[in-house]
Amino acid sequence: MSLHPTPDCGVPHETAAVARAAFPHGHAYLRLRDALGPIYTDIPFAGLFARVGQPAACPWRLALITLLQFSENLSDRCAADAVRARIDWKYLLGLDLTDPGFDASVLSEFRSRLVAGEAEALLFDTLLTLCRERGLLAKRGRQRTDATHVLGAVRSLNRLGCAIETLRAALNALAVVAPDWLRAHTDPNWIERYGRSIDDFHIPQGETARRACAEAIGDDGHRLLAAVDAKAAPGWLRNVPAMVVLRRVWLQNFHVTEPPTGGSEGDGRIRWRTEAEGIPAALVMVASPYDPDVHYAKKRATTWIGYKVHLTETCDDAQPPLIVHVATTPAPIVDRAVLDPLHAALATKDLLPARHLVDAAYIDADGLVAAARDHDVVLTGPVSKDNQWQARTEGAFTIEAFHLDWDRKIATCPAGHDSRSWHPNYNLGRTVIRIRFAAQHCRACSLKPRCTPLAAPSTDPALA
């Protein structure tokens, strides 16, 4: 496909007349066209197309249609039908009433070109630049950021279900890329066992039976990996994506016990990992063989497998709210870890706010200091709730009961004793101050039950 730039010649007279008659009180798309014009031109998309070949559909119109399609949650077919049938779309796109439109597959092909050319941000950045030129973005105004969960387009599986489906996906992939090799190295029982979906896979009830089932599956996967790793096997089989995922899932969910005395290295038994034996953190745990980047996460009462998206929008009283930044992260990444790269990205675009409003999940001491020091941004939001046992126990000492001398790095407890040591500790990107008091002071202190959890009164009636 080649690009022959199509200039915007304005809205055709007949299209404008019909649109004005159909919407005498105005319409959002009509106002958008009147205020911002066509928004895009073909020139920025030139690098996505060849110099010769069949002429491509007008990219600036396809870019606009992509935005409309997303805003209205339309399928490609419905969006193509809207181009042909809806007068508000024809007005925004500058099309004649008789324009026949295009086949729905053109939209998918256009999105593929955007992704392949790493030009996804072109649509967003171009619109932001135009809004800035029209005076719709206040310099150093107010912005707010919040996050929401994004569900992965995969089925939610438990650990055993994920292992079964991963082995099944690996066998299916090998059946496509190396059918003769798989036929020579497969167990005849695997066809019956893994030839059906997880819905039809019989998982026995009871912990003992389920563990035995899991370890039988683990042995099958281990044998397949051993066959692929053998010297006689084609080296490229190890790099088949489904095999790479299988290796990750097996390392995360199974381990090999030590071989018996006198046995060879391969005589160890495949065992299903328990949580006590080292289950990886959610950020690295594979949740689906079909999208290894989706991960399990929980935020308050919401649990999901997928991603998290952080949206930043302007909130100045005299300006319309506009989204100025979008950041997508793995689901388990905590919100506060996004702030520093978010501010850096806004600084690159010269879109930093003077005041940034966030919720408690984004607020910590390091973030407050870094925002002001590095970007001259006032970070504003509620402080996280204190969930320590002292805050829930009447009469117990919370951190407010201690006097902190930051210059001398000394803390004074409610009994009047100074701390013995003060050391910063960096945990998951946060600075935590570890403060210790002398043991001889704490042992004899009558306030100790109100201070430390080891001396806290038990809440279990059986232990009272």
pLDDT at 276 over 80: no
The rounded Cα 127 to chain-centroid distance in angstroms is 24
Helix, strand or coil, per DSSP, at residue 404: strand
* Residue with token string 């039908």: 81
Residue 181's pLDDT is 94
Q: Which range among 241-250, 307-316, 364-373 shows the weakest confidence by mean pLDDT?
A: 364-373
Q: What is the pLDDT of residues 33-64, one digit of tens each?
A: 998 888 998 888 888 887 777 777 888 999 99
Comparing 254-263, 371-380, 398-407, the range with the smallest average pLDDT is 254-263
Alpha helix segments (H runs only) across 156-268: 159-177, 179-185, 188-194, 207-229, 241-253
pLDDT at 456: 44
pLDDT for the residue numbered 381:
93
pTM for the whole thing?
0.78
The beta-carbon contacts of 417-423 under 8 Å, at least 24 apart in sequence, are 417/441, 417/445
pLDDT surpassing 80 at residue 102:
yes
pLDDT digits (tens, 9 = 90+) for 207-236: 888 889 999 999 999 999 999 999 999 999
What pLDDT score does 109 carry? Answer: 92
CB 308 within 8 A of CB 333: yes
At 455 the pLDDT is 46
Q: What is the pLDDT of residues 118-165, one digit of tens each?
A: 998 899 999 999 999 888 888 899 999 999 999 998 888 889 999 999
Which residues are CB-neighbours of 211 under 8 A, at least 6 positions away? 272
Please state, for a pLDDT cut of 70, what percent of the chain lies above it: 93
- Nearest Cα to 61, choosing from 142, 6, 122, 99? 6
pLDDT value of residue 274:
82
pLDDT per residue over 332-363, tens digit each?
999 999 999 999 999 999 999 999 999 999 99
Q: Which helix (H) or strand (E) holds 330?
A: strand 323-330
Q: What is the pLDDT of residue 71?
A: 92
Q: At residue 79, what are phi and psi to the nearest 5 degrees?
A: -65, -40
356: enclosing H helix or E strand = strand 355-357
Contact between residue 149 and residue 302 where contact means Cβ atoms under 8 Å apart: yes
Distance CA 129, CA 136 (A): 10
pLDDT of residue 191: 86
Q: What is the pLDDT of residue 268?
A: 66
Q: What share of the chain is helix, strand, coil (3-state, %, to 5)?
A: 45, 15, 40
Contact 145/342 with Cβ under 8 angstroms?
yes
